[in-house]
Amino acid sequence: MKWRIRTMLTKRLAACAAQVTPAGVVCDVGTDHAYLPAELLQSGRCTRAVATDIHAGPLEAARRTLTEAGVLEQAELFLCDGLEQVQPAGITDVVIAGMGGETIVHILENCPWRRQVHLILQPMTKIPDLRLWLAQQGFGWSEQVVQEGEKFYVILSARHTGTVRILSPLEQEIGCVDWQSESVRRYAGWKQQRFQKLAQQLEQAGRAEAADWAALAQAIQEKL
């Protein structure tokens, strides 16, 4: 008996799913239980899915999820690091969610066809580093902030444009965001408090970089 996957998606994964190209082919990197591709296939938003994981255990869990959802025949599973074994034929979207920004950069740097597809990225750490890499590699992107409880998650929707950008400190730390968005304003306010506290701690320690973090906190305040 088929069972619905939608209720298994967290708010951040549901937001990633909403970015996927309708009637497209998705590749979910680090798929774990494959809730995302299962939902995309079961809902009909995607016609085919590729799921990868570096560990055998999660990939077997993914196979079970896809089987129970009745969509295994529409999916391909690969045991590999990132996208190493994946061929780009037909793939419209690559989702990399729940990893550190440095890991996402590593995966994309080792993917020769990264410029051909829509990237949906949800980094857990090192988000400024990921933004800088995208800008230097000629990607344009939009950002969405999703809040689950007290935690904020940033989702980047990126496509290669060929235009290299130089990001300001504010764009590196907060992103290319819609400042009218309520979730963005809550996220920015939370970041501002962190930067203010860091600036105070650095100033007390006599560190010169205190001024940089104080200036960043002030730049956020001017946007709010």
Residues 203-217 have a mean pLDDT of 92
Last residue of a domain, one of 148, 168, 188: 168
Instruction: Report the share of the chain in percent with pLDDT over 90.
Output: 91
Q: Examine the domain organization and report whether 93 and 49 are in the same domain.
A: yes
Q: Examine the domain organization and report whether 148 and 184 are in the same domain.
A: no
Q: Examine the domain organization and report whether 200 and 146 are in the same domain.
A: no
Q: Examine the domain organization and report whether 66 and 133 are in the same domain.
A: yes
pLDDT score at 7:
56
Q: Examine the domain organization and report whether 131 and 221 are in the same domain.
A: no
For the stretch 87-138, pLDDT in tens is 999 999 999 999 999 999 999 999 999 999 999 999 999 999 999 999 999 9
Q: Is 173 inside a domain boundary?
A: no
Q: Which two tokens stand for residue 149?
A: 């409880």
For the stretch 28-53, pLDDT in tens is 999 999 999 999 999 999 999 999 99
Residue 25 CB contacts under 8 Å (≥ 6 apart), including other chains: 46, 47, 48, 49, 50, 90, 91, 92, 93
Q: Examine the domain organization and report whether 195 and 151 are in the same domain.
A: no
DSSP label at 54?
Answer: S
pLDDT score at 2:
53
Distance in angstroms (rounded) separating the CA atoms of residues 190 and 195: 9
Q: Examine the domain organization and report whether 148 and 182 are in the same domain.
A: no
Q: Examine the domain organization and report whether 184 and 149 are in the same domain.
A: no
Domain of residue 197 covers 178-224
Q: Are 102 and 66 in contact (CB under 8 A)?
A: no
Query: What's the total number of domains in the chain?
Result: 2
pTM comes to 0.94
Q: Is 45 inside a domain boundary?
A: yes
